[in-house]
Structure formats: C-alpha cells, structure tokens
Amino acid sequence: MGRIAMVSLHTSPLDQPGTGDAGGMNVYVIELARRLAERGVDVDIFTRATSSRQAPVVEVADRVLVRHIHAGPFEGLTKTELPGQLCVFAREVMRTEAGHQAGHYDAVHSHYWLSGQVGALARDRWGVPLVHSMHTMAKVKNAALADGDSPEPTSRVIGEEQVVEAADMLIANTDIEARQLIDLYDAEPARVEVVHPGVDLDVFRPADQREARRRLGLPPDAHVLMFAGRLQPLKAPDVLLRAVAELLAADPSLRGRLVVPVVGGPSGSGLEHPEALADLAASLGLDDVVRFVPPVTQDVLARWCAAATLVAVPSYNESFGLVAVEAQATGTPVVAAAVGGLPTVVRDGHSGLLVDSHDPADWARALRRVLADDDLRARLSAGALEQARQFSWERTADRTLEVYRQAVGLMREELFVG
C-alpha cells in the first residue's frame, strides 16, 4: 500500500478540536494518517479551505499532506449547506489526481457521509477501492435526539445509504456501530470491519494531579467534575450541570470544593444559542462552580484530564467517545451515558460508571458515588489505565491497513468477475 487519498471535506484535521465542527473525527484523521506514514504509506488529506490564509498544501508530517480545496466561500457555510459544494470540491480533487500518473493512489478513505459522496466518485474515476468511515449516522442520531435538537435531514439519510452501497469496505468504530450499519443501512456484513480508534499514550498519560491543578489554577483539594467536547445538545453538557445542581441541593457543603470545568466551544445546533449553557448555569445558581474553558490543544486537554476527579460524558450518542479513552489514559475515571460506543470504551464498575438514562437525578447519584468513596475512586483510576491500554493508534493503523488490503482484493475480484 503506497499512497492513500483521505477525504475529510467538512472539517480539517488541522482545526482545533472542540469548536465548530471539529471534534474526535479530526483527531482520528490526523493520528491515523501519521501512524500510516510511519508504516511507509503516503497520505494526502483533502479538506475544504475555510480561510484565504491557508496554504494550498500543508505538510504536517513526513509523508502526510493536507490539501486545502477551494469550494464555496471560506466562511459562513454551515454543514447543512455543504452538499451544494460537493461538485466543486470533487472536481478539484479529480484535478489534483489528474496531475499525476495513473494509479497515483491505491485507495480512497473517506470520513463522514459528505466525504463519502466524493470518495465514491473518486473510486469510479480512479479505479481504486473506497473505504469509508461513517463516524456518525443520521438514523442513529435521529433515534436519540436531545430535547430541542433538530433531526438530521432526509437528504443526509439518502446520502449515507448511497455511500454505504458504494463503499468496498466500511470501517466501524465498535461492534455496535457495525450492527447499526448492517441493520439500519443494509450493509453487507462481509464488507464491514470493526477497527477501534486509539489514544496517544505519549500525550495522555498519568500525571501528578496536584501539579496539574496548580498549573491550571485549580484548588488542590477540589472535586473537579469535568466535561470536554463541543457544546451542542447531542453532547448533553446540560445534563451534567443539572446533575451538579441536584448534588448541591442534596449537600450544600459541597459547594466550597466543587469545580465544574466545561472545556470546548459551541458547535452544530449549539451555534444557534451559543450562550445557552452559560445561561443555564446562571439559572441553576452554578456561576461560582462552573468554569467555561475555550477549546485547548491535546497536551493541555491531557493536563485537564489529569487534574479532574472524573470526566463526564453524558452524550445522547457517541460512535466511540474518544474523550473517554483520553481521560482514562491519564488515570481519571469516566462517568458516561450507556449509549453508542461508550460501553465499549468505559468498562462499567472497572474504569468508570455507565448511566442508563439522562435523568439528572440518576447522574447525580453516579457522581456522588465516585466523590464519596475514596476506595472506589482508586479502583476506577487503576482500571481506567488498564482499559486505555487496549486502545492505541498504532493498533488502529495496523488494522486499517488490513482493511485497505481487503478492499483492494474485493475490487480485483469484482473486476475479474465482471
């Protein structure tokens, strides 16, 4: 496998995770590309340019190029408006490949359904296999909408179905996602492979909690209940705030030691009311305990995770839940919703606690268990480190290379049969 074209149309792997449309998928794309490059594979990542200041081509690592494609205005386009730019984006991707000899790319790996539409065209024009990663699926999201969130449009559902049909291989983050692809999208089971995302264990590693807190300006003896991610209804940071309000109502003495960092920026439907979470914190009387922290780099996020007593992941759906793995890699227990890929990432009672609802009272009980029991917290911390060691980007890259080879073999079989 010599060269891969990755397509990440709607969000650049160079964007700061935690704001706009940038999140776990951005981390996934760049970390996978780097590990593939370490294995001798050249990777070109095609993404839509969002600023005139972006260079057309950025070398982010040896063998890894990010190619910024001009398709539509640099700013102001929402994700729902991007389908109108697919033709322009695809044309420029085709033009890049046309500047090289035939067979320049050995495979296309697209991320998210918009990219899959472009990847399907590239597959047919270049005669190379398409491997696709959904990351999120409209049918799954629509079945578990947060209060006040908008359903994904029918056009996305149709687009996803088309990509599933076109792809030679589909990569699912977990067994649950694989089953959803098969049951909800009629994917052929033989064309679906499970490849877990990873975590950079050199960045996310155990660190002295008191020192991490000192560097972040947190009290050394605080109960730090942290949320990290994009601020949108799907991620449900409001559930954590409401649970904290319940905790304080039951035990007002906690207020002097409680700190709730919310690390991230508005995204998706959260952009419609960017101040909504701050308004909720004020209405719940939590202004003195909640700290809103803008999106941070991976090394600073690792410091926040190490400083936390626990990390809360109350999402309504997660295909995997990368922040849960990252937190566990620092030895911090996770309290997570029992949805999507989170039960794969968080081992209930061993590396954290899973909550079967989004009722703030249920969440308050789970948070209280961790805060009140030093022995439980120590056991979960040790279990978190053990659990995180199961996930590495090196293992992800090795398994992904296997899927690429499967896709090449399948396409050759089809050509021979045809």
> Phi/psi at 398 (nearest 5 deg)?
-60, -45
| Residue 142 annotated as binding site | no
First and final C-alpha spacing in the chain: 24
Q: In Å, how far are 212, 286, 305, 352, 355 from 309, measured between CA atoms?
A: 12, 18, 8, 11, 17
Q: Which of 180, 197, 167, 191 is nearest to 141 (CA)?
A: 180
Tell me the C-alpha distance between 280 and 269, whole Å: 16
| Residue 352 annotated as binding site | no
| Residue 141 annotated as binding site | no
| Residue 185 annotated as binding site | no
| Residue 335 annotated as binding site | no
| Residue 132 annotated as binding site | no
| Residue 18 annotated as binding site | no
| Residue 399 annotated as binding site | no
| Residue 22 annotated as binding site | yes
DSSP string, 209-264: HHHHHHHHT--TT-EEEEEES-BSGGG-HHHHHHHHHHHHHH-GGGGGTEEEEEE-
| Residue 81 annotated as binding site | no
| Residue 10 annotated as binding site | yes
| Residue 139 annotated as binding site | no
| Residue 154 annotated as binding site | no
| Residue 67 annotated as binding site | no
Reduced to 3 states (helix: H, G, I; strand: E, B; else coil), residue 65 is strand
Residues of the chain by 3-state class (helix, strand, coil), percent to 5: 50, 15, 35
What residues contact 409, with CB distance under 8 A and at least 6 apart? none
- Binding residues are 10, 16-17, 21-26, 79, 112, 136, 156, 230, 235, 296, 308, 318, 326, 332
- Binding residues for Mg(2+) are 308, 332
- Binding residues for 1D-myo-inositol 3-phosphate are 10, 21-26, 79, 112, 136, 156
- Binding residues for UDP-N-acetyl-alpha-D-glucosamine are 16-17, 24, 230, 235, 296, 318, 326
